[in-house]
């Protein structure tokens, strides 16, 4: 059976079709001075699409919704010809949620997740030729706290290091406004720093959109019971004020946490995936190249 499958794959490549494969996980910090272990899971499409997305699941900066907002998203992107990399960026973890040990010990906190996204972008771009992708078409998609992470990458990283496009889905945005998602703020800043005004300001995305921000696809639902819908509105207004190329879609229903699920949320909000594919095909069009070819 394995031989038959291999022959079919070879035939598909020969006629110019595409197929997707999950490659072995890798540690983005391997062979670096950073001794942390942060997993990146590559889902590579071998075909005529040279775009890639680093996927950052949500979880209030305490944990990850790794399936619905991670691996299911990667598989859906693959179905649409786009390679994906699921990033298990560092989070505070459950012990930090149920205790306050970070009052006396550092634990995981800002800027650890931001460094992990930065390194993941470096690793993917450095291996772009092997993956069959364009190093200038590597975006980042994040959900909830992951949405805050990818947008912070667009704001904090230098030009050339930033994602080439950003997709915050029902994102955490502000750390100072009354609509702040306090659990994510605590998860990212730590118990001892969550009330630091300068740090709150620095990590409020609506206050730091750069003039040369990459294109943004932003989506949320007005009935979101977890992250106040006004977070996305603040970001949309900031993008508009800076003249950043973006598309903001707000659905009336769908709640929070639907990711790439076919059952969570509502039929209305699940349309975001179709809208994203239309947007990326227009904004970041694929170049027709085959994996392993010039």
pLDDT in tens, 269-281: 999 999 999 999 9
The candidate with the shortest Cα–Cα distance to 193, out of 273, 122, 111, is 111
Between 7 and 265, the higher pLDDT residue: 265
What pLDDT score does 14 carry? 38
The candidate with the shortest Cα–Cα distance to 165, out of 113, 217, 220, 237, is 217
pLDDT band at 87 (very low <50, low <70, confident <90, very high): very high
What pLDDT score does 234 carry? 98
For residue 195, is pLDDT > 70?
Answer: yes
What is the average per-residue pLDDT within 3-31? 64
What pLDDT score does 20 carry? 85
For residue 8, is pLDDT > 50?
Answer: no
What pLDDT score does 48 carry? 78
What pLDDT score does 21 carry? 87
Measured CA to CA in angstroms, residue 132 lies from 18, 45, 106, 189 at distances of 12, 8, 39, 37
**Who's near 14: CB < 8 A, 6+ residues apart?**
none
Determine if the pTM surpasses 0.85. Answer: yes
For residue 7, is pLDDT > 80?
Answer: no
What is the average per-residue pLDDT within 194-213? 97
Question: Rounded distance, CA 207 to CA 210, Å?
Answer: 9
What is the average per-residue pLDDT within 7-14? 38
What is the average per-residue pLDDT within 11-26? 66
pLDDT band at 38 (very low <50, low <70, confident <90, very high): very high
For residue 294, is pLDDT > 80?
Answer: no
What pLDDT score does 179 carry? 98
């Amino acid at each position: 059976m394995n031989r038959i499958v291999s022959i079919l794959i070879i035939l598909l490549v020969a006629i110019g079709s595409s197929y997707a494969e999950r490659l072995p996980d890798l540690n983005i910090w391997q062979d670096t001075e950073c001794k942390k272990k942060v997993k990146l899971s590559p889902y590579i499409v071998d075909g005529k699409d040279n775009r890639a997305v680093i996927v950052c699941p949500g979880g209030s900066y305490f944990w990850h919704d790794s399936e619905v907002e991670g691996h299911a998203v990667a598989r859906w992107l693959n179905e649409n010809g786009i390679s994906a990399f699921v990033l298990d960026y560092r989070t505070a973890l459950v012990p930090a949620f149920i205790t306050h040990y970070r009052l006396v010990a550092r634990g995981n906190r800002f800027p650890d997740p931001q460094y992990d996204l930065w390194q993941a972008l470096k690793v993917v771009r450095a291996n772009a030729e092997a993956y069959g992708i364009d190093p200038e078409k590597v975006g980042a998609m994040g959900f909830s706290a992951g949405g805050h992470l990818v947008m912070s990458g667009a704001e904090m990283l230098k030009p050339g290091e930033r994602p080439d496009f950003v997709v915050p889905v029902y994102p955490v945005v502000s750390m100072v406004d009354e609509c702040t998602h306090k659990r994510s703020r605590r998860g990212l800043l730590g118990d001892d720093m969550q009330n630091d005004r300068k740090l709150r300001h620095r990590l409020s995305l609506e206050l730091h959109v750069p003039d040369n921000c990459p294109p943004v696809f932003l989506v949320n639902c007005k009935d979101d019971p977890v992250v106040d819908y006004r977070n996305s509105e603040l970001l949309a207004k900031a993008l508009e004020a800076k003249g950043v190329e973006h598309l903001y879609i707000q659905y009336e229903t769908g709640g929070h946490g639907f990711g790439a699920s076919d059952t969570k949320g509502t039929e209305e909000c699940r349309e975001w995936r179709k809208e994203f594919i239309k947007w990326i095909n227009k904004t970041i069009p694929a170049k027709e190249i085959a994996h392993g070819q010039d």
